[in-house]
Amino acid sequence: MIFTGSVATPVGVLAVQSDGAAIRRVGWPVVPAPERGGRADPLLAEALRQLREYFSGERTEFDLPLDLGPQTEVTRAVLMALYDTVGHGETVTYGELAERSGTAVPARGIGSIMGANPIPIIVPCHRVVASDGLGGYSGGAPGEGLVTKRWLLEHEGALPAALF
């Protein structure tokens, strides 16, 4: 059974999916997801609580079981290297993440993997930047990817707040 809930954040409404054993998906729905499931899911409630704490500045790490779904070994290695080695307030370049993951993925390939991350925010793909700037970001409301990425990095203290 899949349980779905949502939480309003400064970067839009996030929908969260749990199967009762692990968080399986986080994303920005076009239409907010209705609550689903025949019974309450304590894991979903905990994930929503942790996300609220993150956005209010009370949490810097997530403590949730994750299920990345069907992924190649390389994709899983890259996403887990990101999750395990790039902390709150830090950034890493696409090339540095490729090295940390121990894979032979080129920087451009790392970008594609970040764009396919099923659990953004918790697996912090917003912390991966280009060597010469922010790079891309597919999260957030349609057309707001880089605004969302900048907000998240400012929120974590990895970027100074914009003056304008």
List the domain boundaries for the chain: 3-56, 73-155
Q: What is the pairing mode between strands 92-93 and 128-129?
A: parallel
Query: Within 10 Å of residue 90's Cβ, how many Cβ atoms?
Result: 13
What number does CATH give the domain 73-155?
Answer: 1.10.10.10
Task: Give the global pTM.
Answer: 0.90
- The number of residues making up the chain comes to 164
Q: What is the mean pLDDT of residues 34-58?
A: 85
Which residue is catalytic, options 26, 44, 125, 129?
125
Q: How confident is the model at residue 30 (pLDDT cuts 50, 70, 90)?
A: low
Query: Using CA of residue 113, residue 83, residue 101, residue 21, what is the dihedral sign?
Result: negative
**C-alpha atoms less than 13 angstroms from C-alpha of 77 in its C-beta half-sphere:** 13
Six token digits for residue 61: 């790490």
163 part of the active site: no
Q: How confident is the model at residue 83 (pLDDT cuts 50, 70, 90)?
A: very high
Q: What is the share, in percent, of the chain residues with pLDDT greater than 90?
A: 73
User: What is the DSSP-derived secondary structure letter of residue 112?
Assistant: H
